[in-house]
Amino acid sequence: MSTLETTVSIYDDFAAVKAKTESRSRKVDRDNRETVGMPFVANPRMTCRQVNVFYGEKHAIKNVSIDIGKNEVLAMIGPSGCGKSTFLRCLNRMNDTVAGCRVTGEIHLDNRNIYDGNIDVVPLRAQVGMVFQKPNPFPKSIYDNVAYGPKIHGLASSRTELADIVEDSLKRAGLWNEVNDRLDKPGTGLSGGQQQRLCIARAIAVRPEIILMDEPCSALDPIATATVEELISGLKEQYSIVIVTHNMQQAARVSQRTAYFHLGDLVEVGQTDRIFTNPSHQLTEDYITGRFG
C-alpha cells in the first residue's frame, strides 16, 4: 500500500467516526414538529392516523400518527398538559364522554375504524381496557368488582365459570394470594396498591387485547409501584399496553418503545433505551435532561 493510500484510508476512518459522532449529537431542531423516529411497527395491533383532538377551540392533539404493536409496552411521556391523557382516551373513545371534545382522523383496530358510526363502544371498551391514575374500585365486594364486567358482557355461562374468571384474573393481577380468603369484603377496604391491582384484575377479566394505563402508579408507594411494574412486564406476553407516566425511570423499566409528546405534537417515538440515551429531537433531549417540563 502506498503512503497516499494509507493516508486516504486513515482519513476515511476518521471521517466515518466524525460523521457518527456528529449524528449522535446533532438533534432535530426545536421548531420541527414532524414526528421523528419509529412511530410505525411491522406488526401493529392498532394504527392511529392523523388524529386531531379539539376541546372547543383548543387544538389539544395535532395530527398524530402512531402504531401500537402487538405484545409491546408503549410509554407516553411529556410535560403536563401536552395531551398524553387526551390521546390515550382516543384509543377507546373515552373522549366521547367529555363535553365539547371532538376527535378527527382514524384509529383502526381489527381493520375497523373505531370512530365509524356503527361501532358499539361498550365491547370496544372491553377490548381496549383502561386503568386510571387513582384506583377506582366499585363500591362492591372484591369478587363483584372483578365479576361485574364478565357478567354484563355475558362471558360466563355458569356461576362456576364466572368464579374461574374471577380467580384467574386476580391471579394474573398478582392479587389472589392476598385476597382469596376475603373475596366478599369491600374492594375499597384494600390498600392503594392492592386496589390498583384489583382495577387491573377488573380490566383483565373482560379479556381485553389492549390495556391503557394513565399514570397507574402515581398514587402508589415504591413497593406497590414495583409490584405493578412487574405485573405490567408480565402482562405484555398477552396484551399490548400503553402507559402514560411522568416517571422516566418507570418508562425505561417497563416499556420497549417510548413516545414523547410536546404541546399536542407527537415529537419523537423510538426504542426506549435510545430515547433516553440518544434522542433525535432537541425537544426530547430538553425534556429528558430536565430543561423543560
Ligand X SMILES: Nc1ncnc2c1ncn2[C@@H]1O[C@H](COP(=O)(O)OP(=O)(O)OP(=O)(O)O)[C@@H](O)[C@H]1O
Q: Which residues bind ligand X (CB under 6 A)?
A: 55, 58, 60, 78, 80-86, 98
Q: What is the DSSP string of 150-198?
A: HHHTT--SSHHHHHHHHHHHHHHTT-HHHHTT-TTSBGGGS-HHHHHHH
Contact assessment for residue 214 and residue 135, using Cβ atoms and an 8 Å cutoff: no
Measured distance CA(64)–CA(52) in Å, rounded = 7
Which of 60, 173 has the CB closer to ligand X? Answer: 60
Comparing every residue's Cβ against Mg ion, the nearest one is 85
With contacts defined by CB under 5 A, name the span among 48-56, 81-89, 115-123, 153-161 that binds Mg ion: 81-89
> Does residue number 280 form part of the binding site for Mg ion (CB under 5 A)?
no
Nearer to Mg ion, 82 or 206 (CB): 82
Is residue 95 part of the contact set for Mg ion (CB under 5 A)?
no
C-alpha cell of residue 291: 430543561
Stretch that binds Mg ion, among 6-14, 85-93, 226-234, 268-276 (CB under 5 A): 85-93
Closest to ligand X by CB, 69 or 83: 83
272 binds, among Mg ion, ligand X, none (CB under 5 to 8 A by kind): none
Is 165 or 259 the residue whose CB approaches Mg ion more closely? 259
Pick between residue 78 and residue 129 the one whose CB is nearest to ligand X. 78
Q: Which does residue 82 bind out of ligand X, Mg ion, none, counting CB within 5 to 8 angstroms by kind?
A: ligand X
Q: Is 72 helix (H, G, I), strand (E, B) or coil?
A: coil
Looking at 70-78, 84-92, 137-145, 161-169, which segment touches Mg ion (CB under 5 A)?
84-92
**Range in contact with Mg ion (rule: CB under 5 A) among 66-74, 83-91, 188-196, 197-205:** 83-91
Tell me the three cell numbers of residue 267. Answer: 415529537
Residue 286 CB contacts under 8 Å (≥ 6 apart), including other chains:
30, 292, 293
Applying CB under 5 A, the site for Mg ion has a residue count of 1
Question: How many CA atoms lie within 13 Å of 149's alpha carbon, on the beta-carbon side?
Answer: 27
Question: CB–CB of 196/217 below 8 Å?
Answer: yes
Return d(Cα 240, Cα 46) in angstroms, integer: 9
Smaller CB distance to Mg ion: residue 79 or 186?
79
Closest CA to 52 of 34, 41, 65: 65
Q: What are the φ/ψ torsions at residue 189 (nearest 5 degrees)?
A: -85, 0
Question: Cβ of residue 55: shortest distance to ligand X, in angstroms?
Answer: 3
Residue 85, interface with Mg ion (CB under 5 A)? yes
Please report, as ranges, the residues that interact with Mg ion according to CB under 5 A.
85
